[in-house]
Structure 1
């Protein structure tokens, strides 16, 4: 009987312990962790280019201004030759194709390249007189430096090899027609680089406004000055402007009252008198004071033997 009475008491004690446990408040939640640290990486120039580098301004068509704009066909062909010369000198790290192509082009298309060089020389002589050759050499320096821009070489070399193959496969008589197209193709890697650099400057300015309050960054370097513009085609040698002599025709004057004077008729031209012409226009003599542009910058190597 005693055992039977103790059991309900024990059950009551267990119930009280359970109730006490249910009334205990839960522990507080753990503290919220801090937000992750996002690194603010400062933008860097494309293709490992220098910071603060100036790039050209754009023209009305949205293209960056270069010395290849507005050129004649002869000048375009000469600029293509200079671009391939730069490739021959700077692309050996990507193989010898550019150099071998350039030497073959000088041999296969020598007459056409010589004629184009003479035409460009004549353009400068007519436009600038005795200072023409110096003006051309200054432009040549700009063009060479343009195609030798270090950050773009790795993108330029494969394009130059592709254009060199097209030049070799094209008859000499068609070079002038294709030269502007090839020149635009050779310039495209540089246009793309300028666009990428302009985008880098935009992102750098945004980074500066958000994270770089204590850092001085030049986000808008001075643009490059516009390159010189090559002259247009000069007239061929022996050309003279046509001048038409004005013929004064006197109209008949009606006789006045009381006058017996007959009307004045125009005098017939004298067939023996030669027509009036202007003196022959010839460019001034120019003495070359700089190396001849027809001499290639790269020593020409002999063509490989074909076995014939």
Structure 2
């Protein structure tokens, strides 16, 4: 019996050195799992931003060909020449950088060399306005203001500095074909601004979808998970300190246009609208948003000393 116990102890003693390393290895593995840390989550990228001078720009609609439909779209040859003259007119007034020194003399030279042609074009354009019952002054105001967009001014002035001398050099017979190529070049900076605004809107919407407040809801919707119910809006109750009274009825024979409800007068004070009391109608007089342009609306030659004094 004693010998059997010795043999059992001997067997345990021989196995013990083999068990100790295995136990220690298991403990070391558990220690590694305990100290492991998850990888940090990268913060979302910065939200796209739009330059302040582009914040109020509303790009025009696009056609089926994805091209913007602007005031310079789908013009006949006569109107195209007139729009080129209007664009260079705005450039002669508003472009005054070091690279624009030749724009004014080139514009004046164009008026001189194309005097008869432009007079004929002007007559045709005005006849078109009358035939359509359109306000020619309002249309030209809109056209001048289009080419005076501040956000597109650097590119527009650079294009005009190149096109104005070429317009002056073109012969009257070649000017119609020249205008067909010149107008898209003059308008290109404005189309670039419109694309920039549209690209920002797309990028901003995508950022909101991925990282904005609705990102979690968007992920749930894409995964097909049920959307959490939106909380019901709190019912608004009148303040107990302020009694609620029904609005008083207007006296018999009066209307909401009396007193402070005089809409034509309010418009005339705040929007430059002329009200006609006898007909109760409101007529809007065309105005120039940029006062400088009004100096040469009649496309008279521009004097450099006049520009220098401004």
| TM-score, normalised relative to structure 1 | 0.57
Within the alignment, does 1:73 sit opposite 2:77 as a pair? yes
Q: 1:112 to 1:202 in 2, by over 3 A?
A: same
Q: Which has the higher helix share?
A: 2
Per the alignment, in what secondary structure is the counterpart of residue 92 of structure 1? Answer: coil
Q: 1:49 aligns with which of 47, 53, 57?
A: 53
Q: CA deviation at 1:56?
A: 0.7
Q: CA deviation at 1:298?
A: 6.4
Match of 2:205 in 1: 205
| Matched pairs, number | 205
Give the Cα separation in 1 of the matches to 2:122 and 2:304. Answer: 21
Match of 1:9 in 2: none
Match of 2:113 in 1: 108
Q: How does 1:263-274 map to 2 (within 5 A)?
A: none
Alpha-carbon displacement from aligned partner over 1:94-115 (angstroms, at most 9, x marks no partner): 5323233222222232222222
Equivalent residues of 1:97, 1:161 under 8 A apart:
yes
Q: CA deviation at 1:165?
A: 2.5
Within the alignment, does 1:299 sit opposite 2:302 as a pair? yes
Give the Cα separation in 1 of the matches to 2:176 and 2:57. Answer: 34
Which stretches in structure 2 are left out of the alignment for 5+ residues? 1-19, 216-285, 288-293, 306-310
Q: 1:84 aligns with which of 82, 88, 97?
A: 88
Q: How does 1:149-160 map to 2 (within 5 A)?
A: 149-160=149-160
Report which structure shows greater RCO (CA 8 Å, sep ≥6). 1
Within the alignment, does 1:124 sit opposite 2:99 as a pair? no
Alpha-carbon displacement from aligned partner over 1:189-213 (angstroms, at most 9, x marks no partner): 2222212211111011111122221
Which stretches in structure 1 are left out of the alignment for 5+ residues? 1-18, 216-288, 303-308
Match of 1:178 in 2: 178
Alpha-carbon displacement from aligned partner over 1:185-239 (angstroms, at most 9, x marks no partner): 2112222221221111101111112222189xxxxxxxxxxxxxxxxxxxxxxxx
Give the Cα separation in 2 of the matches to 1:136 and 1:49. Answer: 29
Alpha-carbon displacement from aligned partner over 1:6-47 (angstroms, at most 9, x marks no partner): xxxxxxxxxxxxx99xx79767486447426435311122x5
Give the Cα separation in 2 of the matches to 1:123 and 1:112. Answer: 17
Equivalent residues of 1:78, 1:116 under 8 A apart:
yes
Per the alignment, in what secondary structure is the counterpart of residue 199 of structure 1? Answer: helix
Q: CA deviation at 1:52?
A: 5.6
Match of 1:195 in 2: 195
Give the Cα separation in 2 of the matches to 1:66 and 1:178. Answer: 20
Within the alignment, does 1:98 sit opposite 2:121 as a pair? no
Q: CA deviation at 1:159?
A: 1.4
Match of 1:270 in 2: none
Q: CA deviation at 1:168?
A: 1.9
Alpha-carbon displacement from aligned partner over 1:73-108 (angstroms, at most 9, x marks no partner): 221111101111121222213532323322222223
Alpha-carbon displacement from aligned partner over 1:120-175 (angstroms, at most 9, x marks no partner): 112223332xxx5xx11111111111111111111212112222132122112211
| TM-score, normalised relative to structure 2 | 0.56
Q: 1:51 to 1:114 in 2, by over 3 A?
A: same
Give the Cα separation in 1 of the matches to 2:59 and 2:152. Answer: 13
